[in-house]
Structure 1
Amino acid sequence: MSRHLFQLFLFVFSCLPLTVVSLRCYTCVFPSISPMDCLRYPQECPVGQRCLSSTAVASQGTLRLVLYERSCAMPNQCGLSGEKHAAGLNFSYYNECCDTDLCNGAIGLAAPSRTGMVLSLIALPLAHIFA
């Protein structure tokens, strides 16, 4: 009898739909100019999306601006790199993705950059471009 019960269990289990679990990723409120400015909070991503870590770098003279972003992303956004022009600066960016819960939390150390009000004034108009 136990063998028949086991076979019935296997049959019922194989007929059940597989449950798809969403990935949880860190998301920044907006792209930040410093790893410490990235106010990360966990977010449940839509099914099929991955965790994104994006870094965009612009240099002009002695000014070096590094923007960081963390979010959920469609798989076609992963591994992309390129350039964007915003606020008179050319940004080189690179998107990396990962597939485990909260895997996009680590942020590398930024290269030394000039900070202050100038960066804040430049970063604010850029927030909507990289979001």
Structure 2
Amino acid sequence: MADLLRYLLIVSALTTPGLSLSCFTCLDLTGAYCTGSPVTCSAGYSCVTSLSVTTVGSTNQSLSLSRGCAAANQCNITGSLTFQYGKVKIVTSCCDTDSCNATIATLPADNATVNGLTCRTCASDTTDYCYTDATLQCNGAETLCGRMATYLSGTASVTNTIRGCATPSVCNILGNVNGAFGSLNTVVKTFCSSGCVGLQGTFYLSSLMMLILMKIIF
């Protein structure tokens, strides 16, 4: 019995949130595969794989993938944001052993069912805010209006924003996550509301999402 109790205590200690994992960190802006060097994550963080698909118009589509460290509220997220020029979809999945690579999750399916929400929609490649009288009928699970302001600093400096219909899963990502890939520092601030008049609330998305949104505007 003593040996069994000791074994259980060891297992519990190894799986207790708060221990630091070593996770690979990498970024691929042209596909769905990347490898990198391991880094030590903050206590309680998991190893995350994040896949984004950006569609502009009906045919222009690009995939991007990143691996790194993530807090629990950044794990197992499936969401999207639709604006006047296209759509961004993102999925994240996590694992909790040293140097693990989480399996890439399935992207959310398109849903053309109108849900009754109308949001303003616009895009800017020069500022972190845009406003327009143009509106967008929201579909499926995109039941909130969202505005994403993106920032890139380091060897390049870029600020832009998109505005449209967003899923709650995107809007509920909390925390302050600043990303660094080589000499580039990235952050995304997102504001959400239940209607098109006035967006409120703020949070930071993963650095990968920032880079994908940056590519949409250009």
Pairwise same-fold verdict (TM > 0.5): yes
1:59 maps to 55
Partner amino acid, structure 2, of 1:71: G
Which runs of no fewer than 5 residues in structure 1 stay unpaired? 1-9, 11-17, 109-123
2:71 maps to 74
Partner amino acid, structure 1, of 2:71: M
Q: Deviations over 1:76-116 (max 9, x none)?
A: 11111112469x542100010000111127779xxxxxxxx
Among 45, 51, 60, the residue aligned to 1:49: 45
Instruction: Kindly report structure 1 stretches of 4+ aligned residues shifted beyond 4 Å.
Output: 18-21, 105-108, 124-127
Among 33, 36, 50, the residue aligned to 2:30: 33
Q: TM-score, normalised by structure 2?
A: 0.37
* Pairs aligned (count): 98
C-alpha distance in 2, partners of 1:105/1:40?
Answer: 14
Do the aligned partners of residues 68 and 49 (structure 1) sit closer, same or farther apart at CA in structure 2, a change above 3 Å counting? same
Which runs of no fewer than 5 residues in structure 2 stay unpaired? 1-5, 7-12, 106-155, 161-183, 189-205, 208-218
C-alpha distance in 1, partners of 2:60/2:23?
Answer: 31
Larger radius of gyration: 1
C-alpha distance in 2, partners of 1:94/1:107?
Answer: 8
Do the aligned partners of residues 76 and 105 (structure 1) sit closer, same or farther apart at CA in structure 2, a change above 3 Å counting? closer
Q: TM-score, normalised by structure 1?
A: 0.58
Structure with the higher strand share, 1 or 2: 2
**Are 2:96 and 1:96 aligned?**
no
